[in-house]
Amino acid sequence: MNRTLLSKEFLEQRRTYRLFILVAVLLVFGLISPVVAKYTPMLLRSIPGVPAGLAGIIPEATLSDAVGQYVKNTSQFGVILVIIFTMGVIAQEKERGTAAMLLTKPVRRSAMVLAKWSAGMGSLLVGLAAAAIGCALYTALLFQPLPLLGFLALNALMAVFLGVFLSVSLLASALARSQAAAAGIAFGSLVLLLILASIPRLGEVMPNQLLGWGVSLVLGGDASAWTALAVSFGIIILSVLVACLRLEREEI
């Protein structure tokens, strides 16, 4: 790993406020998820005019609701953020000419891809950590303490899930010569993954299964998705590898 490139990528994450925005957004969703889970039933019951019978069947919020809300919010907004922040990272350098400045130096093109991937994943992990801490604190306050290992495993699986979208977006950025084209490829890939996930048997091995597995680990269920984990790692490795090969062959 080229330390100079990695330092520059982390500095760029900070200077362009990507890291700040990612941490802030994920932290907010980490904090509000247990709050929303806790108070939504109470809000529904307190709405004027709700029939007494209906108010009676709205269940009390549980730990399961808090975890479910956290996974839903963090994964959905996390996917959008990693795509937006990653889709232009290589295409923009090619478009602006900064890649041409860099790639005349003694730097392997794959090092540029790996540095960008590492910095993106680093920022994502910091954001997820912030979200997890926020969620764990408020869940403990409003419900009960989360099981530490299970919650860590959930967040690790969520990092892999989001890592899939980050890697695919990075590949889109390497394939495209402009940011607009990279955005098209990245969001197209998102739609494709969602479609694949909805196909009955195929969907059982797609990355979204990791989220259910993670929830199960927190709540003590027996679900697992090892194949989906292998597929996710496969998509990540393949995306980064193809991005490296593409850039190695491309004329800048």
Partner 1 sequence: MIQIKGMVKCYGKVRALDGLSLQVEPGMVYGFLGPNGAGKTTTMRILSGLARPDEGQAWILGKEVGVNRMDQRPMIGVLPEEPAFYPWMTAREYLRDFIAPLYGLEPGAASRRAGEMLEEVGLSEAADRKCAGFSRGMRQRLGLAQALIHQPKVLLLDEPVSALDPAGRKEVLEVIGNLSGSTTILLSTHILADVERVCDMIGIISRGHMITEDRRDDLLARYALPLFEVEVDDDLGQWPEIASKLAFVKSITVSNHTARVLVKDVQSAQTGLLASVLEAGLHIRRFEIVHPSLEDIFLQLTEETPQPAQV
User: Residues in the site for partner 1, rule: CB under 8 A?
Assistant: 2-4, 7-8, 11-12, 15-16, 96-98, 100-109, 248-249, 251-252
Q: How far is the CB of 96 from partner 1 (least distance, A)?
A: 5
The residue (of 4 and 46) whose beta carbon lies closer to partner 1 is: 4
Tokens 């299970």 belong to: 150
The residue (of 45 and 96) whose beta carbon lies closer to partner 1 is: 96
Q: How far is the CB of 13 from partner 1 (least distance, A)?
A: 10
Q: Report the alpha-carbon distance of residue 26 to residue 129 in Å, rounded.
A: 9
The residue (of 42 and 101) whose beta carbon lies closer to partner 1 is: 101
The residue (of 115 and 154) whose beta carbon lies closer to partner 1 is: 115
DSSP 120: H
Q: Report the alpha-carbon distance of residue 232 to residue 247 in Å, rounded.
A: 23
Of the CA atoms within 13 Å of residue 167, those in its CB half-sphere come to 21
Q: How far is the CB of 5 from partner 1 (least distance, A)?
A: 8
**Cβ neighbourhood burial of 116 (10 Å; 0-12, 13-18, 19+):** buried
Q: How far is the CB of 244 from partner 1 (least distance, A)?
A: 11
Q: How far is the CB of 176 from partner 1 (least distance, A)?
A: 18
Q: Report the alpha-carbon distance of residue 233 to residue 95 in Å, rounded.
A: 30
Q: Report the alpha-carbon distance of residue 82 to residue 120 in Å, rounded.
A: 8
The residue (of 49 and 106) whose beta carbon lies closer to partner 1 is: 106
Q: How far is the CB of 173 from partner 1 (least distance, A)?
A: 16
Tokens 């694949």 belong to: 196
Helix 148-175 with 226-249: angle, nearest 10 deg? 30
The residue (of 132 and 244) whose beta carbon lies closer to partner 1 is: 244
Q: Report the alpha-carbon distance of residue 71 to residue 3 in Å, rounded.
A: 33
